[in-house]
Amino acid sequence: MNALLIACLACTAAAAAGFAFLLAAETLRNRRRTCYHNLLRQRYLRIVMLALFAERPAVPHFPLLRRRDSRLLLAETLAGLGAMTYGLPTGLLSEITARYRLDEWLLRRARFAQGYRRARYLALLSELPATESVSRHAARYGDSRNRYVRFYALMIALTAEPPAALQRMAGCAWAFSSTEVAEITAALRRGLLPIAYRPLVASASPNLRRVGLSIVRQFGIAEAGPQLLQLLDDDETAVAQADVLHTLCALRRPLLCREVRHSLGRMKPAERRTLMRCMARSSYAPELLRRLFDKNECAYYETIVQSHKRCLV
Amino acid sequence: MQRILIASDDGFSRELIRLALAGLGAEVRCAGCGAELERLCARVLFDLIIVLQTAPFFCGRELIGRLRPPGLRRPLVYVVSWQQSEQTVLSLLECGVNQYLTFPVSLQRLRAKVAGDLTLQQP
């Protein structure tokens, strides 16, 4: 009996040691791979930057491109460069993409992937210099059930054909989330989408209006104030009204007017609290709020203002 | 030789800015935001520090106090971040930040600004 017990214990110990060894080996392998990827990414970035700032820009040679994941690293490097900068010579980036067939490769990977992986490949494609052919191929994902896939297919179309951007955004059947609006505005900041805010804010399409309001917020367009107050009168939907009120707060417009009081009266308590947080961020004085909110809500506002969270930066 | 420090926890953006500033004739060093940054600043007096991120619940005034010795105008501090709200920018400038740029950033403009400020700082 004792011998059996000892044998069982020895087997368990051996199995545990085996698992621990495998785990350690896997961790080491992952660490090594991450290190290798970081080094290769840095190397690719260096090559691209040298080519971009050279006197005579020419398509550079990228080493180790046949190795596993190298092409993805190159695509990530170009996409990262595109996302974080503007004003770089796009011609050279397009030439690199075309020479190494990065767009074709990403499209092929997207075709065989599903869900978030597919969305990731499409997101990378949307950051690379776009062509109409890629946009045509990515259009098949425009009706995907996965929201991210659908959105990045739209982003590819927007960056490939900027003149048709408004039409495409208005044609979307789903409402843009705040993150999606931020992505579109980031593309606009990089100069990929030449869009004016006025027609967007006045548009009947909720998606276009959200993008317009986001532009007004981000660029601090104070002259849009009267148009926003007009919107509060015209649009009765709660979501649109909350968005307009947040934009007015971001612009630090005076809020003691009939339109704002009327909208606040129709908001739910949770929405009013969300608006208060936005007002605190925009430094509205608690004195002003006493004329807009009741006593309990004003007390809540004062707690936000006094909180250390106001000390943001 | 003038010294520039680039501080960020994101290796890619750090490397990107480092490469963009190469060839300016200054020594460019990189560090993560946090203890490493403070340690480097305590040891070396930099001419320019470029911070590539902002963080909520983190007081900029304290950070500037640690980066810049009291009574000195050196090092110049640039902040480049994705934050775009006017409130953030104003608070940073009030804290003593010399220049605020938002991502996406023009590398040529950044390079020109840095070159201009380093020239002004030369004795």
* Residue B15 touches partner A, C-beta closer than 8 Å: yes
Tell me whether B106 touches chain A (CB under 8 Å).
Answer: yes
For residues A189 and A216, give the distance between their C-alpha atoms in angstroms, rounded to a whole number.
13
Phi, psi of B33 (to 5 degrees): -80, 135
Architecture of the domain made up of B3-121: 3-Layer(aba) Sandwich (3.40)
pLDDT tens digits, A204-229: 888 999 999 999 988 888 888 888 88
SS3 assignment, position A256: coil
Q: Which residues of B touch A83 (CB under 8 A)?
A: 104
Which residue from A minimizes the CA distance to B97?
A313
Antiparallel, parallel or unpaired: β B3-7 and B27-31: parallel
Using the predicted structure, report yes or no on whether residue A94 has a pLDDT greater than 80: yes
pLDDT in tens, B35-87: 888 888 888 888 999 988 776 655 666 777 778 877 777 889 998 988 877 77
CA B102/CA A220 separation, integer angstroms: 14
Q: What is the mean pLDDT of residues B104-120?
A: 90
Q: Does B116 touch chain A (CB under 8 A)?
A: no
Instruction: Report which residue type is found at B42.
Output: A
**A66-70, A156-160, A167-171, B16-20: least confident range:** A66-70
Averaged pLDDT for residues A144-158? 93
- Tell me what pLDDT residue A116 has: 93
Look up residue A181 and give its two tokens.
């609006």
Q: Which two tokens stand for residue B109?
A: 């403009």
Distance from CA of B105 to the nearest CA of A (A): 5
For residues B99 and B116, give the distance between their C-alpha atoms in angstroms, rounded to a whole number: 12
ipTM value: 0.86
Q: List, edge to edge, every strand of the sheet that includes B99-102.
A: B27-31, B3-7, B48-51, B76-81, B99-102
Give me the phi and psi of B104, to 5 degrees please: -70, 140
Contacts of A173 (CB under 8 A, 6+ apart): none
Residue B6, SS3?
A: strand
- Segment A275-302 mean pLDDT: 83
Task: Pick A38's closest partner by Cβ from B11, B91, B104.
Answer: B11
- Range with top average pLDDT, A104-118, A280-294, B29-43: A104-118
Cα B117 from Cα B42, distance rounded (Å): 22
For residue A307, give the nearest of A281, A273, A269 by alpha carbon: A281
Å between A124 CA and nearest CA of chain B: 16
Domain ranges of chain B: 3-121
List all residues 6 or more positions away from A58 whose beta carbon is below 8 Å from its beta carbon. Answer: A51
User: Residue B63's closest chain A neighbor by CA?
Assistant: A313
Q: What local confidence, expressed as pLDDT, does residue A312 receive? A: 45
Average predicted confidence (pLDDT) for chain A: 87
Q: What pLDDT is attached to residue B57? A: 53
Residue B27 to chain A, least CA–CA distance (Å) = 17
- The rounded distance, in Å, linking the Cα atoms of B43 and A183 is 40
Query: Furthest-apart CA pair in chain A: how many Å?
Result: 89
